[in-house]
Amino acid sequence: MPSKPSIPKGTRDFSTDEMLKREYIFDTIKKVFRMYGYQPIETPAMENLSSLLGKYGEEGDRLIFKILNSGDFLSSASDEDLKKRETAKLSAQICEKGLRYDLTVPFARYVVQHRDEIVFPFKRYQIQPVWRADRPQKGRYREFFQCDVDVIGSDSLLNELELIGVIDDVFERLNIKVQIRINNRKILEGIAEYAGAPDKIIEITTALDKYEKIGWENVKEELVNKGLNKNVLQKFGNIIQVINQNNRQKIEFLHSILLDSEIGLKGIEEIRFLIDTIDLIDLKSEVIFDLTLARGLNYYTGTIIEAKSADVSIGSICGGGRYDNLTGVFGLEGVSGVGVSFGADRIYDVMNQLDLFDNITSSSTEVLVLNFGEAEAKYALKILGLLRKLGVKSELYPDQVKLKKQMSYSDARKIPYIIIAGEEEIKNNELTVKIMSSGEQKKIPVNDLESFILSLIKPSE
């Protein structure tokens, strides 16, 4: 026999067991999205490369999977480029399409393309796979799902508040305890202004983030290496003392030092609104105003949001923020939006580690009817008809083989109830139900099947 076939590295098959767990996550997320008024869209796996390239930086462009044109793909390749093996130029000549790299750019493209049909504010969610030609490693795949939820066409901070509610609700339903951290790019800009280095926002934010891990002396050294002067360092020192204070203290302190920064004050006002109103929405999760949170600084323009598991150290499992110009790159200016993305793979890992998938197998077959031969199988078909009408997931073992084999199938599939209907049962219009957890067996008239089975199983569908 030839060697086993395989799949491309960085991709995965999902077994039935994994699928049921993953669907549980996706279904929970979807339910919450809909509960808050978000509606699904889907976009094609393939986008024109002209839509994708230049949106993710140089490194991102390299990680986009390109699709070879069909037919004579060399027809527009130049002799010289072929001879010189100009891969960059040639790839543009032989490929027009690529696989989507995230859901954000296709969403922006969608909004611009369909702007005349869309009702704004547009509350949409999108749960689809994306592909990246990244080097595969533990927890990093070349095909993975993103679950994005955004509202665009509204500036209101009520949207941020709602998304924080969505995050809290999703993780409450999944039984994952999280900390939600928020920050605001405008505050970070204000701090950079205050420190006298308005163009160094990224360096300063990175330094803030590192302070807890590497200490003040090391951070100072880094900042000096990055060309920041003594005056900046001193002001920076003022900020640092607030990092470990509570939300209110941070807001008041920053308000006092950012009085001269218009943008900084705007940021404070926004964070203050969120912290004030969060009390009204009855969250299960702790919300922390975290000055060191700096994800997506090159596209977020206001609020930044991130959630981490309180029990498993695995990085962010949800994150997002406010962007003021999502669609500008496709020619539609002035559309503001805010959104977050749930990381299904990490959520899966967290739930696995915390053993939170216990009750999921209920979506699998509940009753197996054993197969004792042709006459018995025909009798079984009627029983199955009754069960399925009740919404009980059930099946007949298809082959008339030894009981041992049928039982080991049942065990492997973890089917909780077995129905035995042999010659004697048929004669008396009865059947025997075996409860696998206890080993108990009970013979009942077929007419009692409905009440008996409904006393054991609560059909979910």
Closest approach of a copy of itself to the CB of residue 450, in Å: 16
Q: Which stretch binds a copy of itself (CB under 8 A): 3-11, 180-188, 225-233, 435-443?
A: 3-11
Closest approach of a copy of itself to the CB of residue 331, in Å: 4
Binding to a copy of itself by residue 94, rule CB under 8 A?
yes
Binding to a copy of itself by residue 56, rule CB under 8 A?
no
Binding to a copy of itself by residue 363, rule CB under 8 A?
yes
Binding to a copy of itself by residue 41, rule CB under 8 A?
yes
What type of residue sits at position 50? Answer: S
User: In 3D, which of 215, 214, 207, 171 has the Cα closest to residue 188?
Assistant: 207
**How many CA atoms within 13 Å lie on the side-chain side of 57?**
5
Q: Which stretch binds a copy of itself (CB under 8 A): 91-99, 212-220, 417-425, 429-437?
A: 91-99
Binding to a copy of itself by residue 360, rule CB under 8 A?
no
Binding to a copy of itself by residue 196, rule CB under 8 A?
no
Torsion angle defined by CA atoms of residues 405, 409, 411 and 416, in that order, rounded to the nearest 10 degrees: -120
Q: Specify the pairing of strand 122-131 against strand 178-184.
A: unpaired
Which 98-157 residues touch a copy of itself, going by CB under 8 A?
Answer: 99, 109-110, 112-114, 117, 119-121, 123-124, 129, 131, 133, 142-143, 151, 154-156
Among 87, 256, 437, 451, binds a copy of itself (CB under 8 A): 87
Determine the Cα–Cα distance for residues 68 and 97; give it in Å rounded to an integer: 8
User: In 3D, which of 191, 44, 183, 157 has the Cα closest to residue 105?
Assistant: 44
Sign, Cα dihedral of 375, 378, 384, 386: negative
Binding to a copy of itself by residue 312, rule CB under 8 A?
no
Among 59, 217, 282, 358, binds a copy of itself (CB under 8 A): 282
Binding to a copy of itself by residue 284, rule CB under 8 A?
no
Q: Kindly provide the b/e burial profile for residues 135-163, where b requires at least 16 CB atoms within 10 angstroms of the residue's own CB.
A: eeeeeebbebbbbbbbbbbbeebebbbbb
Binding to a copy of itself by residue 90, rule CB under 8 A?
yes
341: left (phi over 0), alpha (psi -120 to 50) or beta: beta
Among 312, 409, 436, 450, binds a copy of itself (CB under 8 A): 409
